[in-house]
Amino acid sequence: MEHLINERVKTIELSGIRTFYNMVSQYKNVISLTIGQPDFLTPAHVKEAAKEAIDDNFTSYTHNAGTIELRQAASQFVSEKYNLAYDPTSEVIVTIGASQAIDIAMRTILTEGSEVILPGPVYPGYEPLIKLNGAKPVHIDTTQTGFRLTADLIEQHLTEKTRCIILPYPSNPTGVTLSKQELEEIATLLEHKDIFVLSDEIYSELVFNDSHHSIASIPSMRDKTIVINGVSKSHSMTGWRIGLLFAPAYLAKHILKVHQYNVSCASSISQAAALNALTLGKDDAVSMNAEYEKRMNYVYDRLVKIGFEVEKPNGAFYIFPSIAPFHDNSFEFALNLVKEAGVALVPGSAFSSLGEGYLRLSYAYSMDTLVDALDRIEQYIHSN
């Protein structure tokens, strides 16, 4: 009965990140730097808050948008950190991870035939959601602009069908960020256009040498921007599945309807943990970020020394070296690296066709692991 399955579902593919990860898992003694999973433990005070919630029998449904306490804490958090102002009663939705937040936002704003602009290379989670809504992803090549989606590039690709522009910064897979000036230039371009912006800021707490800037903090952009955030990366809480969606009230009320029928509400226990994370632990990411920056500098310096061409990241915990000097495609290079060096990196082709010719290395691993992995990569390169 497979012929009865939704054709849009049949045409999308599983994430290339997970596909490659699963494929190389059969090999022994491989150092895998493939998954964007923080190696820090969830802070102890966050876990204690969850235990207390269980002991207090906080195990019922919450408000569809999340507990008011968590929404208030989330509103206060982004206000203090990023100068964003959202009414917790009508403009904040607690979701099951950032992925579900992106899903319900897309379902709300996209219609058949509409177009969504996004940078390439890019995290592979957006394109399937765009296609499932009958919309068209429009990837823009950012390999000549330091992986930054600029106002000039956007302008070249705008059509009457453009419905949304995705700004996924800090970026997975490249680790680059957009400056305040770059965001202001995009805002000037879009100021008088009826186009939504989906700003995926899940790595907002992991920025080096600067603070994170949100396009929604620019007054002209607030009412057309959906901000996605959460505690997965900032507080090492990936498995707790708490995302946060911020949008103007006129838009949030419609997104909430999709959310309600999709999942009802996020886990009550996870919400209790997230409340603690955003209040008592609002600065927990500071020490993690310092360690990520130390690792980034080490990995960047080693890759350059080995002979890779690479843009230095300014956030998240990924680096995206080019394999152009080694004259190979990304999948074959990554597979040979597994077989001959015992190191797994994600082929750049997993991040759209514009990622071909690159590899993604996640440095969300211990320094000892990174040293070992880079030693193996260096030996492999110099022996081939």
Instruction: Render pLDDT for 96-135 as a digit per residue (tens, 0 to 9).
Output: 999 999 999 999 999 999 999 999 999 999 999 999 999 9
What percentage of residues in the chain have a pLDDT greater than 70? 100
Structure tokens at 157: 């690709």
Reported as a single tens digit per residue, the pLDDT across 53-90 is: 999 999 999 999 999 999 999 999 999 999 999 999 99
* pLDDT digit string, tens, across residues 190-240: 999 999 999 999 999 999 988 999 999 999 999 999 999 999 999 999 999
**3-class DSSP state of 345:** coil
Torsion of CA 55, 60, 62, 68, to 10 degrees: -30
Q: Residue 373, Cβ neighbours under 10 Å: how many?
A: 25
Question: Cα–Cα distance between 305 and 300 in angstroms, integer?
Answer: 9
Q: Is it the case that residue 14 has pLDDT exceeding 80? A: no
Residue with tokens 């990837």: 139
Model confidence, pTM: 0.96
Query: How confident is the model over 302-324, as pLDDT tens digits?
Result: 999 999 999 999 999 999 999 99
Q: Is the pLDDT of residue 23 over 80?
A: no
206 near 234, Cβ under 8 Å? yes
Q: Does residue 153 contact residue 142 with C-beta atoms inside 8 Å? A: yes
Question: What DSSP designation does 97 have?
Answer: H
The SS3 of residue 209 is coil
Cα 126 to Cα 103: distance, rounded to the nearest angstrom: 8
The domain total for the chain is 1
327 — pLDDT class (breaks 50, 70, 90): confident
Please confirm whether the linkage preceding 347 is cis (ω < 30° from 0).
Answer: no
Segments forming the whole domain that contains residue 16: 1-384
CATH of the domain at 68: 3.40.640.10
What pLDDT is stored for residue 154 in this prediction? 98
Q: Which residue carries 């080490």 as its tokens? A: 298
| DSSP one-letter code for 326 | G
Pairing of strands 115-120, 162-167: parallel
Q: Is 228 helix (H, G, I), strand (E, B) or coil?
A: strand
1-21 average pLDDT score = 82
